[in-house]
């Protein structure tokens, strides 16, 4: 193994600290060369920089134009630039560095303290920052991203028959989508930056009235969260499965091959299900694990992934529907909001009521954030389907050894590949083998001072020396969604293998992304190894009213599958009541 991968960046001297926190949610595995160069270098990272500039927190003259220091890739793994993100806490008067660290990265012990740099202070940016902050604390709608939603839905709806396009036409479509990815991430950056405002202000409100659970309670049950939409769709399908003896019997046989079995059945229930499931895939087929990675499978490319989750959801009771959960949570949030308002008034602090109301409005940024990400994922899916078709046809022609090798190309090589595809055959096969070696590595959670250890020194996955948790063991994480629940721990490391999760069990995962969201409906509580106050696990747990703890370091490696655990979403403590096998 070489010490650097072909797409690795040179660490920033200006902003030298990087973290896998939150990055692991969107890119959990090593990114393929095509994903790094097409999706990130020449797409996402350009929009990320421009979005940061539009928020007012950064100036155009601060950036490396080829590789804007918003992020970094090392060993193929994506990292968020921690030093860079912290500028929002330094420069924005409404948020502190400490609040940003908690919101974005959780209470992880390896996060280095902030060290001031004379270049950090930019008083010239304050007018633009103030203007953006005023918008964050007053915006209840954002028409720009609603238009983008319609555009990305239309992009999918109007997808041409890719098999009918020649190679040049496929690349032309990919370039069109790439420009859209750049623009879509610009808006995603704006609301991602704004998403830390509400938790930060509400934390201060909670401190003032002696209730640290205020941010969680007032940011739960927000409604209209796009990443939760597939959960509603799967729920409706699950009710139809549960009501049909034929469909129930087929799911009992297993999801492998179920679509073929139903297609061969003359039963109207089978045909109706296939039609409705087909529409579900048309609407939400871009979802799946590792959605930012163009080589990854999604529900459209591998429908059995969605069917495996549906198989778990169908076991739920009617009162566990996401709509009913949200209704209960909205009512609870309204009740708690009234209580908090009364307590804030009672403090006599003249500024506190205004801060509370501004923070409540700023909570809309969390809704916006899920919409802009969903828009982006739809666009990436269209690029994915283009490249899959390019790989399919050239593998069939014998120009490359495997269709998956197409993702070992880099963006600048695409035109050369189309001109002479066979000349890349051996190189792409070699890259693929090296790339798969990266999957065995455990990326450092933090890269400090721009010092990236050689890949030959990285730990291997599965080499953790964490001692197994026994009865009485506690893991202190970060509160994600309030409530206390006790249940059997179900440790799931791969969303594609959720078959053991039974209704009411505690889902324990290394991290989650929107592809996991429907599985939350089968859980009684959620615990993840990493994450902060605006991570995906928190947002969806709050939408469904599930007690949630994030940044529970090593939970998946120390808690034995099948143990009885208590999840305290108010305090962030996970307690092992009874260890499996003891």
pLDDT of residue 108: 66
Digit-coded pLDDT (tens) for 547-581: 999 888 889 999 999 999 999 998 899 999 999 98
Query: Residue 25 in contact with residue 495, Cβ under 8 Å?
Result: no
What does DSSP assign to residue 471?
T
Please state, in angstroms and rounded to a whole number, the distance separating the CA atoms of residues 172 and 151.
Answer: 18
pLDDT of residue 105: 63
Q: Token digits for 190?
A: 């704006």
Burial label for 573, CB within 10 Å (0-12, 13-18, 19+), is middle
Q: How many CB atoms lie within 10 A of CB 147?
A: 12
In which residue ranges of the chain is pLDDT below 50?
none
pLDDT of residue 528: 92
Q: Spell out the CATH class of 474-578.
A: alpha beta
The sign of the dihedral angle between the CA atoms of 323, 326, 328, 331 is: negative
pLDDT of residue 500: 76
Please state, in angstroms and rounded to a whole number, the distance separating the CA atoms of residues 80 and 93.
Answer: 23
The sign of the dihedral angle between the CA atoms of 513, 519, 525, 528 is: negative
Query: Residue 56 in contact with residue 135, Cβ under 8 Å?
Result: no
pLDDT of residue 342: 96
Q: Can you give the residue ranges of every domain in the chain? A: 18-195+363-438, 474-578
Digit-coded pLDDT (tens) for 200-231: 889 889 999 999 888 888 887 787 778 778 88
For helices 322-347 and 229-243, what crossing angle results, to 10°?
140
pLDDT of residue 107: 62
Q: Residue 85, CB half-sphere, CA atoms under 13 Å: how many?
A: 29
Q: Token digits for 448?
A: 């400090």
pLDDT of residue 116: 94
Q: How far is CA 287 from the centre of its chain?
A: 11
Query: Residue 508 in contact with residue 492, Cβ under 8 Å?
Result: yes
What does DSSP assign to residue 308?
H
């Amino acid at each position: 193994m070489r010490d650097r991968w072909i797409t690795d960046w040179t660490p920033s001297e200006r902003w030298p600290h990087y973290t896998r926190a939150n990055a692991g949610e969107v890119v959990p595995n090593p990114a393929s060369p095509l994903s790094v160069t097409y999706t990130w270098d020449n797409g996402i990272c350009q929009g990320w920089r421009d979005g940061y500039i539009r928020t007012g927190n950064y100036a155009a003259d601060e950036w490396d134009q080829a590789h804007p220091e918003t992020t970094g890739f090392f060993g193929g793994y994506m990292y968020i630039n921690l030093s860079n993100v912290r500028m929002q806490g330094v420069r924005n008067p409404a948020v502190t560095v400490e609040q940003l660290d908690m919101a974005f990265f959780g209470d992880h012990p390896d996060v280095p303290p902030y060290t001031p740099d004379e270049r950090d202070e930019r008083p010239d940016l304050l007018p633009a920052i103030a203007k953006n902050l005023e918008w964050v604390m007053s915006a209840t709608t954002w028409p720009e991203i609603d238009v983008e939603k319609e555009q990305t839905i239309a992009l999918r709806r109007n997808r041409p028959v890719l098999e009918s396009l020649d190679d040049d036409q496929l690349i032309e479509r990919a370039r069109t989508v790439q420009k859209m990815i750049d623009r879509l991430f610009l808006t995603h950056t704006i609301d991602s930056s704004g998403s830390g405002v509400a938790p930060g202000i509400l934390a201060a409100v909670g401190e003032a009235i002696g209730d640290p659970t205020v941010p969680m309670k007032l940011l739960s049950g927000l409604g209209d969260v796009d990443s939760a939409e597939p959960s509603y769709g799967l729920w409706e399908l699950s009710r139809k499965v549960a009501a049909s003896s034929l469909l129930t019997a087929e799911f009992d046989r297993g999801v492998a091959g179920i679509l073929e079995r139903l297609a061969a059945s003359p039963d109207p229930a089978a045909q109706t299900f296939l039609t409705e499931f087909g529409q579900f895939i048309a609407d939400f087929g871009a979802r799946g694990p590792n959605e930012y990675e163009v080589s990854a499978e999604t529900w459209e490319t591998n429908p059995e992934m969605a069917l495996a989750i549906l198989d778990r959801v169908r076991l739920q009771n009617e009162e566990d529907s996401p709509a009913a959960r949200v209704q209960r949570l909205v009512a609870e949030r309204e009740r708690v909001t009234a209580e908090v308002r009364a307590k804030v008034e009672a403090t006599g602090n003249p500024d506190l009521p205004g801060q509370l109301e501004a923070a409540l409005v700023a909570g809309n940024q969390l809704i916006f954030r899920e919409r802009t990400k969903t828009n982006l994922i739809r666009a990436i899916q269209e690029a994915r389907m283009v490249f899959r078709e390019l790989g399919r046809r050239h593998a069939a022609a014998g120009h490359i050894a495997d269709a998956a090798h197409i993702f070992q190309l880099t963006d600048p090589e695409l035109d050369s590949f189309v001109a002479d595809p066979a000349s890349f055959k051996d190189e792409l096969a070699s890259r693929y083998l090296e790339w798969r070696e990266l999957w065995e590595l455990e990326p450092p959670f933090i890269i400090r001072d721009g010092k990236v250890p050689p890949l030959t020194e990285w730990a291997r996955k599965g080499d953790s020396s964490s001692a197994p948790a026994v009865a009485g063991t506690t893991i202190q994480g970060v509160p994600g969604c309030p409530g206390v629940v006790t249940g059997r721990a179900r440790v799931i490391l791969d969303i594609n293998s959720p078959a053991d999760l039974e209704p009411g069990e505690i889902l324990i995962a290394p991290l989650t992304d929107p592809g996991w969201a429907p599985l939350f409906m089968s859980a009684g509580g959620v615990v993840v190894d990493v994450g902060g106050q605006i991570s995906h696990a928190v947002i969806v747990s709050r939408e469904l009213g599930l007690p949630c703890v994030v940044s529970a370091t090593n939970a998946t490696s120390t808690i034995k599958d099948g143990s009885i655990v208590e999840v305290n979403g108010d305090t962030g403590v996970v307690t092992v009541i009874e260890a499996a096998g003891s």
